[in-house]
């Protein structure tokens, strides 16, 4: 067949219809390439198995019937000639009344030959030989794994993937590698899956090109990666029968909290070999390639990850001793922070505490670092450890925890402070002995409980995530299952309502905190105020309660074209660049703070946005000052030794106006302003006048359709997707 295929231009089989959604019975014709010998036959299947001569011979049009229920038809076909088979050709047809309106969720179809899935020796979904061999040596301790527990390349099977978005459009279709994901949960009937893209599976697609970003999430301090080597499909694990929304809820809460430790997720339903398999979370996988793209790191081989329990991970990496030292000593803190991003650590622990993750940190604990070249303008290249949130199936629970695991119960905050349950090996208690870290952690809790983790925010997200799959449950599951799921969703909401008071009780019990004051913070035009992971922008207001005696430092930064003037604290002007809030400032339980800036009496030309993906590079030049700007007095460059490489055009920009400058290779730039260089990742982009360099920005690694921009024209840069 290879000889025949080598002489055939194009595909050996042509389908009359393309993969897609259909609201009527579909009739599909298969046609052999004219260069295929006339005596060759086509065989096909509709059950996901690889076609052989034992299957249906194609003799005429194939009718894919519309039925009452949604039908997914995976049509596989091969050419058979003189004892040999061609490669497999496959299309996927979804047939149902108005599918997109009925489900409003992505549909993922996966096919793989049944031998790959269910064979005793090699099937990845069964107990198989691995279980039987394990039972021979089982001593009654622990668990015996099955074929589904095995990992490595030898346990990845050839498969085919088709993804249809909620509008019914085909979003991705390619041949893939299919494996199993998860630990204990791999023994469940419905298993989490891992999908692999590589040219060894499909010569035309060595990556997945698909946007998994939460639709509710618009801005981030890191790249919205939309090309992947692998994708994880989480089946819900321990949460499968208890609502199956906890993982997606935590993903959204963590992103709203400003965390870079979480992965985006997207709800979907999975069909396996044409049969409904389950409701899943489609997630970006924490592969080295993904982390490198997300954080703009040059070499994915220089990323190291460590996974297991907190105690085990800290011991293996040799950092446990730094956590055990006296962290009230500034020198010891300095040593610890040489190895660990402690702001990342504290926010990571705050999120897990607030959602009461009872299967952590003695489980589901992972951290990573980059050990390649340290780039001055990329904090993630500094070689310090940072943390990753995953497998959050046991959150917002109380009595429910005991139905999962005996060790996963109670209150995570209490467990951390008492070193019990899933926190017996944690160093967190010693970190909280440090007044410096304790104050920062408590401030994280206060701000998160006032924003992303407010009762209103958490309940809203729980209800939204439940709504995404509520109709799916009613279609695919019986009434008892649906009733139980809704019951446990309501239990989640009740747990979320209780969580703030539980946190406050722990702060009283362990730190003796009782008294609070109200901080009312305002900003004038042209200034931001930041602390911990919080930032408020110009002409904004933020009110929150904080604990007396807990240190809080506020920092300000004027917008381009503005100059910081002073703080106003309870009516008194303070001219310090930053201020520390102290108990002496409290006046009748309140502190009123305003940060004030003044616009400069001059034009202010800035680089406000850019895109540097492939041949679609461009940048936006804006005037954010209060008078007109003659752009021909300014220059942009990618070379510090040649600041005047490209003179901006002779254009007068009024205040608030902008123009686009295209890169030299931009295919869309005909007739527009085109500079004489391209924007390339990790290169510097400079803005100068005739006298000096005014601004320098390192161009980050960017994904397709991604923009890097100043948020609100401030000095805070964020990634967002191009509409």
Q: Are residues 322 and 361 in the same domain?
A: yes
- Contacts of 670 by beta carbon, 8 Å cutoff, 6+ apart: none
pLDDT tens-digit series, residues 102-118: 678 999 999 999 999 99
Residue 101 has pLDDT above 50, yes or no: no
Position 439 in a domain? yes
Q: CA 233, 236, 237, 242: dihedral to nearest 10 degrees?
A: -170
Q: Are residues 521 and 473 in the same domain?
A: no
Point out the least confidently predicted range of 5-9, 90-94, 108-112: 5-9
Position 140 in a domain? no
Last residue of a domain, one of 580, 599, 618: 599
E-assigned strands of 468-569?
Answer: 516-523, 527-531, 534-536, 541-547, 552-558, 562-569
What local confidence, expressed as pLDDT, does residue 620 receive?
A: 97
**Mean of the pLDDT values across residues 486-490?**
94
Q: What value, to the nearest 5°, has the Cα angle with vertex 436 and ends 431 and 439?
A: 90
Hunting for tokens 């980050």 — which residue is that? Answer: 700
Q: Are residues 575 and 628 in the same domain?
A: no
Averaged confidence pLDDT in the chain: 93
pLDDT tens-digit series, residues 14-63: 999 999 999 999 999 999 998 889 999 999 999 999 999 999 999 999 99
Position 457 in a domain? yes
Q: Are residues 379 and 471 in the same domain?
A: yes
What local confidence, expressed as pLDDT, does residue 401 receive?
A: 44
Question: CB of 501 within 8 A of CB of 509?
Answer: no
Residue 364 has pLDDT above 80, yes or no: yes
Residue 555: HSE in the Cβ half-sphere, 13 Å Cα cutoff:
7
**Mean of the pLDDT values across residues 111-133?**
96
E-assigned strands of 235-319?
Answer: 265-272, 275-284, 303-308
Bridge partners (DSSP) listed for residue 541: 522
DSSP string of 346-359, one letter each residue:
HHHHHHHHHTT-TT
Q: Are residues 580 and 609 in the same domain?
A: no
Position 701 in a domain? yes
Characterize the bridge pairing of strands 572-574 and 562-569. antiparallel
CA–CA separation, 448 and 352 (whole Å): 12
How far separated are the first and last CA of the chain, in Å rounded? 47
Q: Are residues 526 and 545 in the same domain?
A: yes
What local confidence, expressed as pLDDT, does residue 408 receive?
A: 61
CATH number assigned to the domain comprising residue 582: 2.60.40
CA–CA separation, 550 and 534 (whole Å): 16
Q: Are residues 385 and 522 in the same domain?
A: no
CA–CA separation, 352 and 250 (whole Å): 9
Closest C-alpha to 703, from 289, 145, 299? 289
Task: Return the number of other C-beta atoms located less than 10 Å from residue 596's C-beta.
Answer: 19
Band of pLDDT at residue 189, cut at 50, 70 and 90? very high
- Contacts of 393 by beta carbon, 8 Å cutoff, 6+ apart: 236, 237, 238, 239, 246, 247, 359, 404
Q: Are residues 329 and 454 in the same domain?
A: yes
Position 326 in a domain? yes
Position 307 in a domain? yes
What is the 8-class DSSP label of residue 649? P
Point out the least confidently predicted range of 95-99, 532-536, 551-555: 95-99
What local confidence, expressed as pLDDT, does residue 222 receive?
A: 87
Q: What is the pTM of this model?
A: 0.93
Q: Are residues 311 and 427 in the same domain?
A: yes
* Token couple for 296: 């703009």
Residue 404 has pLDDT above 60, yes or no: no
Position 198 in a domain? no
* Token couple for 664: 């030299």
Domains in the chain: how many in total?
Answer: 4
Bigger pLDDT: 144 vs 29: 29
Exposure string of 468-481, with b = 16+ CB inside 10 Å and e = fewer, is: bbeebbeebbeeee
Band of pLDDT at residue 427, cut at 50, 70 and 90? very high
CA–CA separation, 451 and 458 (whole Å): 9
Residue range(s) defining the domain that contains residue 90: 1-97
* Token couple for 629: 């700007």
Interhelix angle 479-511/455-476, nearest 10 degrees:
160
Task: Return the number of other C-beta atoms located less than 10 Å from residue 464's C-beta.
Answer: 14
* Token couple for 525: 């035009």
Q: Are residues 372 and 488 in the same domain?
A: yes
CA–CA separation, 565 and 351 (whole Å): 36
Q: Are residues 497 and 523 in the same domain?
A: no
Last residue of a domain, one of 97, 127, 143: 97
**Mean of the pLDDT values across residues 533-547?**
97
Question: CB of 107 within 8 A of CB of 69?
Answer: no
Last residue of a domain, one of 66, 97, 128: 97
Position 112 in a domain? no
Task: Return the number of other C-beta atoms located less than 10 Å from residue 118's C-beta.
Answer: 14
Q: Are residues 12 and 40 in the same domain?
A: yes
């Amino acid at each position: 067949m290879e000889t025949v295929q080598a002489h055939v231009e194009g595909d050996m089989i042509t389908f009359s219809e393309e993969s897609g959604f259909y609201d009527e019975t579909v009739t599909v014709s298969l046609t052999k390439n004219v260069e295929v010998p006339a005596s060759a036959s086509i065989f096909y299947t509709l059950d996901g198995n690889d076609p052989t001569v034992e299957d249906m011979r194609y003799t005429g049009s194939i009718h894919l019937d519309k039925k009452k229920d949604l039908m997914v038809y995976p049509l596989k076909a091969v050419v058979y000639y003189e004892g040999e088979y061609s490669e497999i050709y496959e299309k996927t047809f979804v047939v149902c009344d108005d599918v997109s309106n009925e489900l409003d969720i992505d549909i993922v179809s996966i096919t793989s030959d049944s031998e790959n899935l269910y064979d005793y020796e090699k099937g990845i979904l069964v107990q198989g030989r691995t279980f039987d061999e394990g039972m021979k040596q089982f001593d009654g301790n622990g668990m015996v794994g099955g074929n589904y527990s095995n990992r490595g390349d030898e346990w990845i099977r050839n498969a085919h993937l088709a993804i249809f978005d909620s509008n019914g459009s085909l979003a991705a279709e390619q041949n893939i590698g299919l494996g199993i994901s998860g630990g204990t949960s791999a023994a469940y009937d419905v298993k989490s899956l891992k999908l692999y893209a590589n040219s060894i599976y499909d010569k035309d697609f060595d990556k997945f090109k698909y946007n998994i970003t939460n639709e509710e999430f618009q801005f981030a301090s890191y790249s919205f990666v939309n090309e992947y080597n692998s994708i994880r499909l989480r089946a819900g694990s321990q949460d499968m029968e208890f609502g199956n929304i906890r993982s997606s809820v935590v993903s959204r809460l963590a992103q709203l909290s400003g965390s870079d430790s979480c992965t985006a997720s997207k709800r979907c339903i999975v069909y396996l070999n044409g049969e409904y398999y389950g409701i899943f979370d489609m997630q970006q996988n924490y592969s080295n390639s993904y982390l490198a793209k997300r954080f703009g790191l040059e070499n994915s081989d220089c990323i190291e990850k460590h996974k297991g329990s907190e105690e085990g991970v800290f011991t293996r990496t040799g950092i446990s001793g730094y956590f055990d030292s006296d962290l009230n000593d500034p020198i010891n803190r300095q040593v610890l922070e040489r190895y660990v991003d402690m702001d990342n650590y504290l926010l990571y622990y705050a999120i897990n505490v607030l959602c009461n993750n009872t299967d952590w940190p003695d489980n589901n604990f992972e951290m990573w670092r980059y050990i390649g070249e340290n780039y001055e303008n990329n904090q993630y290249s500094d070689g310090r450890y940072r943390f990753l949130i995953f497998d959050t199936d046991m959150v917002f629970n109380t009595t429910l925890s005991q139905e999962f695991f005996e060790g996963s119960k109670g209150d995570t905050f209490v467990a951390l402070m008492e070193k019990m349950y899933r926190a017996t090996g944690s160093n967190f208690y010693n970190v909280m002995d440090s007044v410096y870290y304790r104050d920062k952690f408590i401030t994280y809790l206060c701000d998160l409980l006032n924003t992303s983790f407010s009762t209103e925010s958490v309940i809203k997200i729980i209800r939204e995530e439940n709504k995404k799959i509520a109709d799916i449950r009613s279609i695919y599951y019986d009434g008892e299952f649906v009733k139980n799921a809704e019951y446990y969703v309501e239990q989640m909401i009740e747990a979320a309502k209780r969580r703030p008071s539980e946190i406050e009780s722990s702060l009283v019990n362990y730190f003796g905190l009782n008294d609070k004051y109200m901080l009312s913070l305002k900003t004038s035009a042209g200034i931001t105020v930041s602390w911990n992971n919080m930032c408020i922008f110009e002409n904004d207001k933020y009110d929150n309660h904080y604990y007396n005696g807990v240190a809080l430092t506020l920092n300000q930064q004027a917008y381009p074209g503005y100059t910081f003037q002073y703080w106003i604290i309870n009516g008194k002007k303070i001219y310090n660049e930053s201020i520390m809030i102290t108990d002496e400032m409290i006046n009748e339980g309140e502190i009123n703070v305003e940060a004030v800036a003044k616009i400069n009496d001059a034009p202010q030309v800035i680089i406000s946005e850019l895109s540097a993906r492939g041949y679609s590079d461009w940048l936006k030049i804006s005037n954010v000052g209060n008078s007109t700007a003659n752009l021909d007095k300014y220059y942009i460059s990618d070379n510090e030794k040649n600041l005047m490489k490209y003179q901006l055009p002779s254009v007068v920009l009024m205040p608030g106006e902008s123009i686009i400058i295209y890169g030299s290779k931009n295919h869309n730039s005909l007739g527009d302003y085109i500079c004489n260089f391209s924007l390339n990742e990790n290169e510097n982009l400079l803005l100068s006048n005739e006298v000096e360099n005014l601004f320098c920005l390192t161009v980050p690694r960017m994904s397709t359709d991604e923009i890097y921009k100043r948020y609100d024209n401030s000095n805070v840069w964020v990634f967002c997707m191009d509409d």
